[in-house]
Structures are given as structure tokens and as C-alpha cells.
Amino acid sequence: MSTTAPVKQGPATASVRRRRVAGKVGVGRPNAAWALPAVLYFAFFAVVPMLLAFYLSFTEWDGLSDPRYVGLDNWKKLIDDDRMVQSLWVTVLLTVVSWAFQTFVALLLGVWAAGRQRNRAILSAIFFVPFLLSSTAIALLYYALLDPNFGIIRENILGSSSGAFLAIVFVGGWQFIPFHTLIYQGGARQIPEVLYQAAAIDGASQTRQFFSITLPQLRHTITTSTVLMVVGSLTYFETVLILTKGGPGTDTAILPYLMYEAGFKSYDFGYASAIASFLVVVATGLSLILVRLTGFASMRSAREGM
């Protein structure tokens, strides 16, 4: 009579068995079906309009008649447009300055809001209020406040290129800093408290803890916030339109305003679509560069598989 010796289960076999059991009881990782609503929403409201704008960039269309295919004429016009280079420079400068201003303030506020200060929750809620307002309402509010005749500052700040530029940076930061503060607050709360306790035992000051612990631990949060800021700054429109009529300055309109001017003033929607497609390419390229340079693409969650 033969007997069969029991088979020992190694770590790999046990791991496979646990995954099978988890799959049977529905504890495993969610499948692709969970992402289907978001994918369909993004495809319908983002991908399809972008593809349509890219198609229109090869046509001549006034918004009423049928589009007429003109090949690369709109793209050649885009390259030869003298205002394009100046507008691109102003747009990039606005993006860089806005990023520096918003990151500095939002990072400090977010780290502070993650602490246990008295009335922290109430103040954090107050800080978040500007983000709940519409960009148009905020622009109209500051347009009235900065009016040289009836505003709080009796100077024509919006009349000069430098003043208008700084006003746009400040108003944009006032609106969007609360959102990025919330991102940094969430990231700072995920930092293990034991790191700060160990640093305090070693005699590290709060400033040293901030630069040696907080900033390194928030590197991926900074990347996420930066990508959102860059894409948002490249698409500034209503705030700039209401405050400065497309400036700052009289001949230094940003790219989104050139798109608006070409489409809704000159009724050249083909050229406007070329500018829009160019903005998409620039924003996507900068986002990919940031992801690659910061190593964000290789980030893995500490709770992966849990």
C-alpha cells in the first residue's frame, strides 16, 4: 500500500493561494471596470474635443460655413506670427513666477495646517474659501479693488505691464493657493511622526527637520502640485481677460488670449484651433518632462497590494 507524502507549501505557493482566496471573496485589487466611468468621462469631455480642435487646425472655418481643408497653412501662420514669440515668452514667464509664488506659500501653509495648532481646522477652512469662488467673480472683485478712481489703491496698477503682471500673479495665487495647500497638508500628514521624534532626540531644530525630513518626504507631492500649477498657468484666460484685456501690456497678450482673439474676434477658428493644439502640446510636453526629471513615474505607493 503506497502512501503519498504531504507536499510542503513554500512562501511562493502560500502567496498564490492567498491571492486566489482574496480574489474569490472580492478582497483583491479592483479591476479595470472601476475606472470605466472616469475613462468615459475624460474621453468625452477632454479627448474628443482635443481631437476635434486638432482636426480644425488644418481647416479654414468661420464658425458658420463648412470647414475647408487648408493643410498646414494655419501652422505656418502660427510660426510666422510675430506676436506668437512674445506671447509665448510672457506665458512662460507668467507660469514660472506663478509656480514660484504659489509653491512657496502653499507649501508653508500646508505643512502648518498639518500640525496640531489651536484653531488650525477653522483657519484651514477659511483659507480654502477663495478656491470655492469662480475665476470670473474673483477677477471682477479685484478689478474693482484695483480701479484707479474708486479702488483701494489710487494708482493705475493695471495700466503698466509690470503692475498688470504682478496683479495677475497675485490674483491667481489668491485663488489657487488654497487648493495646493490642501494637497501639501495631506502629504505632510502622511509623514511618519517617528522621523521627527528621532530628529528631535538628535537635537535637530525645526528648520533642520523641515529641510531634512519634510521636503524630501514631500518630493512627489511637490511634483503633483507643480504639474497642476504649470498646466493651470498655461491656460489662464478669464482672469487675464477681465483684469488686463489680454495683457499684461498692450502688445504682450498671453497665448490663450491670442486663441480667443483669433476665434471670437476674427472668426478664424482654424487658426484658433492651431493655437489651442499648440498649447496642449506644450502643456503635455512640460508635464512629461517634469515627471521624467523628478522620478515621479517610478513612485510606488507604500500601501500597494494592501
The reported pLDDT for the residue numbered 191 is: 92
Residue 287 lies in a domain: yes
CB-based burial label for 162 (10 Å; 0-12, 13-18, 19+): exposed
Residue 52 lies in a domain: no
Q: Are 241 and 260 a contacting pair, CB within 8 Å?
A: yes
The reported pLDDT for the residue numbered 306 is: 40
Q: Are 145 and 157 a contacting pair, CB within 8 Å?
A: no
Alpha-helical segments (H) within the chain = 11-25, 36-42, 48-56, 73-80, 82-113, 120-132, 135-145, 161-189, 193-201, 206-209, 215-217, 219-234, 238-244, 255-264, 269-294
| Better-predicted residue by pLDDT, 185 or 4 | 185
The candidate with the shortest Cα–Cα distance to 259, out of 284, 276, 279, is 276
Residue 48 lies in a domain: no
pLDDT higher than threshold 70 for residue 211: yes
Sign of CA dihedral 217, 219, 221, 222: positive
SS3 164: helix
Residue 206 lies in a domain: yes
Cell digits for 96? 514660472
Residue 212 lies in a domain: yes
Please give the model's pTM, rounded to 2 decimal places: 0.77
How many structural domains is the chain composed of?
1
Characterize 231-263 residue by residue with b for buried, 16 or more Cβ atoms within 10 angstroms of its Cβ, and e for exposed.
bbbbbbebbbbbbbebbbbeebbbbbbbbbbbb
Residue 279 lies in a domain: yes
**pLDDT of 125-183, one tens digit each?**
888 888 888 889 999 999 999 988 888 888 888 888 888 889 999 999 999 999 999 99
| Better-predicted residue by pLDDT, 20 or 215 | 215
pLDDT higher than threshold 90 for residue 54: yes
Question: What's the CATH number where 275 sits?
Answer: 1.10.3720.10
**pLDDT of 10-47, one tens digit each?**
555 555 555 554 454 445 566 778 888 999 999 999 89
pLDDT higher than threshold 50 for residue 88: yes
Q: If you average pLDDT over residues 180-209, what whole number do you get?
A: 92
Peptide bond into 248 cis (omega under 30): yes
Q: If you average pLDDT over residues 83-91, what whole number do you get?
A: 86
Identity of the residue numbered 177: I
**pLDDT of 98-135, one tens digit each?**
999 999 999 999 999 888 777 777 888 888 888 888 88
Residue 36 lies in a domain: no
- Full residue range of the structural domain in which residue 194 is found: 83-298
The reported pLDDT for the residue numbered 1 is: 47
User: How many whole angstroms separate alpha carbon 26 and alpha carbon 235?
Assistant: 42
Residue 221 lies in a domain: yes
How much is the mean pLDDT over the chain?
83
